[in-house]
């Protein structure tokens, strides 16, 4: 494959979290907040394969939910504030954390798809 000869392997975690091309590590992976670019502006990699589906959202729900629920329980047990304090503090914090990690997680999943040559509806032979 000429891809490996022209472009040294990139660290998918570093490239994905930074929103960079999984092949060259230089071009932008996104054109908007979550919209994937049609191709890399640096190396020309066609990014049509990039379909992270609901994976990033699931990880965001699990990670942010774990953090927020733990903090809510700790504050509730320690201070027992009224419900409006919980709403004022935790709803914006939940939205901010979710938006902050959604794009890096989507980039990571796309970079891992590229690294492992993941394709829809393909099973390995095992032989």
CA angle 123, 19, 52 (to 5 degrees): 30
Question: With 80 as the cut, is the pLDDT of residue 123 above it?
Answer: no
pLDDT tens per residue, range 1-55:
445 668 899 999 999 999 999 999 999 999 999 999 999 999 999 999 888 889 9
Provide the residue ranges of all domains of the chain, joining segments of one domain with +: 2-115
Q: What is the mean pLDDT of residues 96-114?
A: 96
For residue 106, the tally of other CB atoms under 10 A from its CB is: 25
Q: In the prediction, which pLDDT does 1 show? A: 43
Q: In the prediction, which pLDDT does 101 show? A: 97
Say how far apart CA 100 and CA 90 lie, in whole Å. 15
Q: Which residues of 18-32 are buried (b: 16+ CB within 10 A; e: fewer)?
A: bbbbbbbbebebbee
Q: What is the mean pLDDT of residues 59-83?
A: 97
């Amino acid at each position: 494959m000429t891809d490996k000869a022209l472009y040294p392997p990139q660290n998918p975690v570093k490239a994905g979290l930074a929103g960079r091309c999984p092949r060259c590590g230089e071009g932008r992976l996104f054109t908007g907040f979550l919209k994937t670019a049609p191709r890399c502006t640096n190396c020309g990699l066609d990014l049509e394969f990039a379909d992270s589906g609901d994976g990033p959202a699931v990880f965001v729900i699990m990670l942010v939910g774990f953090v927020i629920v733990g903090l809510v329980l700790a504050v509730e047990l320690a201070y027992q504030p009224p419900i409006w304090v919980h709403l004022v503090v935790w709803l914006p914090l939940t939205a901010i954390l979710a938006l902050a990690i959604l794009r890096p997680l989507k980039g990571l999943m796309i970079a891992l798809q590229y690294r492992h040559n993941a394709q829809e509806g393909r099973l390995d032979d095992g032989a």
